[in-house]
Amino acid sequence: MKLIQKNKKAYFDYAIEEDIESGIMLKGDEVKSIRNGNVSIKESFAKINRETLEAYIYDMNIDCNPFGTHVKLSPKRERKLLLHKNQIKRLLKKIEEKGLTLIPIEIYLNDRNIVKIKLALCKGKKVFDKRETIKRRDFERDSERENKIRT
């Protein structure tokens, strides 16, 4: 597995409850651009269409390949996620029930060089939760530093 990009901000802004692996439907030279690392998932999010039971990812920026074909696609167009119907139904049920959102946290190439995206069911953190995360991270960093000095 080759990690292409990780959404570190999502771990800070959201409490992640569950993650799920999904394929993504790409066109043209988008795969080559992703392999080169010309992709951004920082502002992206996923939604499920209730009528057709299809999942889409929005605002994922894939820059066009300068050596690509003459077909130029919009870098922030919506892209279909490849999930099974039962997975989509389960995710839709959890989203409606608990008020969760689908956020992409990683994009990577699997063992067979297929682009995969890891989605997470997340709940937004409040300001005091974010402060608690910062305190815990600082405490762990200081304790590791002290342990390193002692040994």
Report DSSP letters for the chain, one per residue: -EEEEE-HHHHHHEEEEEEEEEEE---TTHHHHHHTT-EE-SS-EEEEETTTTEEEEES-EEPPPTTS-S----TT--EEEE--HHHHHHHHHHHHHH--EEEEEEEEE-TTS-EEEEEEEEEEPPHHHHHHHHHHHHHHHHHHHHHHHH-
Q: How high is the pLDDT of residue 117?
A: 96
Supply the pTM of this predicted model.
0.81
Q: Which tens digits make up the pLDDT trace of 43-78?
A: 999 999 999 999 999 999 998 887 777 677 888 899
pLDDT given for residue 140 in this prediction: 92
- Amino acid 72: pLDDT: 76
pLDDT at 52: 92
**pLDDT value at position 124?**
84
Q: Which domains does the chain have, with CATH numbers?
A: 2-125 (2.40.280.10)
Low-confidence ranges of the chain (pLDDT < 70): 70
